[in-house]
């Protein structure tokens, strides 16, 4: 008889998800915020929780990172049961909250060293890790200046650098790019990709569909306290129709001829535009153009609209996302 059980097979270790939640519930007073949520995030992947303001994204992050207790649900993070061993969970994770944890009165470097102290790193190790992260996050020049003078993007980078001081294998990023300009947002995306290539698991909340599309292996849409849909960006896009070609005319006669030649489309008599269902593929487009050519009609403008996460979001929640991701889009009629 052996006293200690044999180690788990490697495959089983690899298969253990970084985060799982089953039946997660949370109410504040009589307001039900999370009404039974199931999630599973494989190790070394990016999981994005998407939802409008007030959907409960921050609540999920706070619960999974032990800052707030759940009313019900079985939760495991980093292989530890959240209710039984919150301390073990805390040592496995890093959290970058929605609102900055940076202290503006001290320098970036001092903020980092403070985190190193909190993680009980030796002075020497703390200095080494701080120097390495400041370099990695392009903050060396700013390191000795008070953080209150940093731009939003610099503060956000410092926030994440501070989160990484303890070397967490699972990190929670609550709206890491809200309020950042496109360039800073791309820098942040690069940082997330780098983390994942090192095998870190990233749990990311966002209101930006484009961001989830760019980064996430899996996306869950939180709506009405439940996960309204979950899947890869492509899987989610497949659940909504919405691909079409849109033709605009300035000449009402050309518009009417086109409406006759392209049956199956939806016309807007005022805007003189026609919308024809299409997968946006070459063959489909050619067929539309051939039919126009055959009828001797020339459109003034042709745009191809493939379904994107905006359409998914709209279809699932019945509301456009609060912050537009790119150009404002015409409503699909």
Catalog residues that contact Mg ion under the rule CB under 5 A: 57-58, 98
Nearer to ligand ATP, 10 or 31 (CB): 31
Do the Cβ atoms of 130 and 116 come closer than 8 Å?
Answer: yes
Residue number with the smallest Cβ distance to ligand ATP: 58
- Cβ neighbours for 7, distance < 8 A, ≥ 6 positions apart: none
Beta strands 170-174 and 31-41: pairing type?
A: unpaired
99 scored as a contact of ligand ATP (CB under 6 A): no
Among 19, 33, 161, 165, binds ligand ATP (CB under 6 A): 33
Nearer to Mg ion, 51 or 307 (CB): 51
> Which of Mg ion, ligand ATP, none interacts with 108 (beta carbon under 5 to 8 A by kind)?
none
Within 46-85, the residues that bind ligand ATP by CB under 6 A are 51, 53-59
Query: How many residues touch ligand ATP (CB under 6 A)?
Result: 12
Secondary structure (3-state) at 248:
strand
Residue 225 CB, nearest approach to ligand ATP (Å): 9
Look up tokens 């990233």; give the residue. Answer: 202
Beta strands 72-77 and 19-28: pairing type?
A: antiparallel
Residue 178 CB, nearest approach to Mg ion (Å): 9
Beta bridge partner(s), residue 76: 20, 81
Nearer to ligand ATP, 60 or 170 (CB): 60
Nearer to ligand ATP, 56 or 265 (CB): 56
> Which of Mg ion, ligand ATP, none interacts with 155 (beta carbon under 5 to 8 A by kind)?
none
Question: How far lies 88's CA from each of 93, 129, 147, 263, in Å?
Answer: 9, 22, 31, 63
Nearer to ligand ATP, 77 or 288 (CB): 77
- Give the integer Cα–Cα distance in Å for 210 and 118: 35
- Residue 7's CB is within 10 A of a number of other CB atoms, namely 8
Secondary structure (3-state) at 233:
helix
Q: Where does this chain bind ligand ATP (CB under 6 A)?
A: 28, 33, 51, 53-59, 98, 207
């Amino acid at each position: 008889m052996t006293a200690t059980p044999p180690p788990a097979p490697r495959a089983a270790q690899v298969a253990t998800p970084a985060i799982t939640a089953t039946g997660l519930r949370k109410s504040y007073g009589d307001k039900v915020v999370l009404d039974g949520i199931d999630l599973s995030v494989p190790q070394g992947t990016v999981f994005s929780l998407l939802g409008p303001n007030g959907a409960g994204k921050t609540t999920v992050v706070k619960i999974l990172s032990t800052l707030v207790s759940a009313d019900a649900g079985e939760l495991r993070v980093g292989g530890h049961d959240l209710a039984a061993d919150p301390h073990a969970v805390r040592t496995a994770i890093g959290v970058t909250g929605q609102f900055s944890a940076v202290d503006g009165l001290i320098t970036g470097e001092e903020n980092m060293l403070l985190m190193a102290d909190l993680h009980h790193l030796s002075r020497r190790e703390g200095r080494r890790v701080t120097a390495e992260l400041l370099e990695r996050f392009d903050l060396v020049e700013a390191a000795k200046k008070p953080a209150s003078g940093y731009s939003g993007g610099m503060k956000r980078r410092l926030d994440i650098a501070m989160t990484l001081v303890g070397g967490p294998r699972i990190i929670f990023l609550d709206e890491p790019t809200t309020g950042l300009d496109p360039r800073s947002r791309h820098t942040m995306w690069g940082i997330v990709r780098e983390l994942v290539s090192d095998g870190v698991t990233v749990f990311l909340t966002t209101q930006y569909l484009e961001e989830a599309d760019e980064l996430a292996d899996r996306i869950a849409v939180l709506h009405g306290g439940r996960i309204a849909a979950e899947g890869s960006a492509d899987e989610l896009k497949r659940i909504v129709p919405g691909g079409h070609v849109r033709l605009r005319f300035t000449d009402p006669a050309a518009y009417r001829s086109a409406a006759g030649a392209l049956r199956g489309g939806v016309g807007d008599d005022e805007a003189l535009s026609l919308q024809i269902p299409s997968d946006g593929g070459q063959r489909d487009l050619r067929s539309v153009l051939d039919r126009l050519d055959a009828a001797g009609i020339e459109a003034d403008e042709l745009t191809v609209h493939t379904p994107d996460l905006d359409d998914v979001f709209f279809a699932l929640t019945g509301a456009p996302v609060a912050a537009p991701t790119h150009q404002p889009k015409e409503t699909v009629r």
